Structure 1
Amino acid sequence: MSQDPIVTSNGLAERDRIAIETLYRAFSDHDPDLLDGALAPDWQDIPLAPGQAAGREGMKPLVHAFSAAFPDVRITIHELIGAPGRAAVRAEITGTHQGEWFGVAPTGVRFTIPIHEFHYVRDGRVTHTWHLEDWFGWLHQVGALGTGEKRAGEKAE
């Protein structure tokens, strides 16, 4: 499959597409101020991360924390499918675990996890985001979980 993102707009306004791409670029560029041009002030992030405040301003500390945990992070959009006022994104996060994340001390392990998100957009700003990242897969990749394999005859708990 091509590394270039597949974009199917079907009526998604150009400025709305740019807002979505800018949201991801804020993480890759370690620049939370990019969120000002991408997200509505009352943007809804569903679900919120533990301790995350609501709205655009609530995401900025998360960008900082993400940058500290994964200084070489990249979010790559593989597919953006849009319709007027809404879009679906299939992307992946890659990076190296160099700072604490989810209570896991730095491991120095490189990882790749998929993300799937749905966005509502209006007037060139994202208003709602429903997201799912494979953090369970991340925990496994960085060695924070056991293999989960049981030896023959061992009882499952």
Structure 2
Amino acid sequence: MTVDGLPDDLNALKAMVLSREAENAAYVRSSRNCSVTALVAALFVGNAALAEAQNQPAAIAVKWYEAFDENRPDILEAILSSNWQELPSEPEVARGAQSATSGLKMLHTTFPDFRIAIDDIVTDGNKVVVRSTITGTQMQPFAGLAASGRKIRIQAIDIHLVEDGKITKTWHSEDWMTGLRQLGAFER
């Protein structure tokens, strides 16, 4: 799947840019009027395309899922604005990356094998909608439930607003009714 004509995988994107750089460099070298300036310009265009692609809203939103999947709070700190807000959220929840990193740490403590996989991405300007699947095994108390060793598999849907290269808001919805059922919350 591609987003806005770009490959899903950042490595594939880098390979595409490097291939274009090589094509541009080969063309410039083969030209009779080859100049150092033209060669540098060709390489710059390739690197600028890679930098621009990495700053696209979809690429920035994908980093959110990398952070949660790989337990990397440093990624969240890099991509969230200082006043990032999760919606809906409790009134006392602080804005900013610290709120998200606390959630990340809690999830990886409670579900040590926590994983999140992107299923779909849709972009509309600077909004990115992501449907994902969350899995994990509950090894610590969660939502009033003792550690059960049970596995969860739930769906989440997020809408990320990206402004000036940072996520400023995330509307977040997870299917915790299914998760709580899987953890035995409704057993009699």
- The residue that corresponds to 1:9 in the other structure is 4
Question: TM-score normalised to the size of structure 1?
Answer: 0.81
Contact 2:112 2:136 in 1 (8 A): yes
Contact 1:98 1:108 in 2 (8 A): yes
Structure 1 residue 100 and structure 2 residue 141: aligned? Answer: yes
SS in 2 for 1:65: helix
Q: Give the number of the structure whose alpha-carbon radius of gyration is greater.
A: 2
Query: Mapping of 1:11-90 within 5 angstroms?
Result: 14-15=54-55, 16-48=57-89, 52-90=93-131
What is the Cα deviation at residue 114 of structure 1? 0.3
Structure 1 residue 122 and structure 2 residue 163: aligned? Answer: yes
Could you tell me which runs of 5 or more consecutive residues in structure 1 were left unpaired when the two chains were aligned: 1-5, 148-157
Could you tell me which runs of 5 or more consecutive residues in structure 2 were left unpaired when the two chains were aligned: 7-52
The structure whose residues are more often strand, as a share, is 1
Larger deviation: 51-60 or 116-125? 51-60
Identify the structure with bigger relative contact order (alpha carbons < 8 Å, sequence gap 6+).
1
Contact 1:10 1:84 in 2 (8 A): no
CA separation in 1, counterparts of 2:186 and 2:146? 13
- The residue that corresponds to 1:152 in the other structure is none
CA separation in 1, counterparts of 2:64 and 2:109? 18
Identical positions, percent: 32
Question: TM-score normalised to the size of structure 2?
Answer: 0.68
What is the Cα deviation at residue 49 of structure 1? 5.5
List structure 1 runs of 4+ shifted beyond 4 angstroms: none
**CA separation of 1:97 and 1:30: change in aligned 2, threshold 3 A:** same
CA separation in 1, counterparts of 2:90 and 2:59? 24
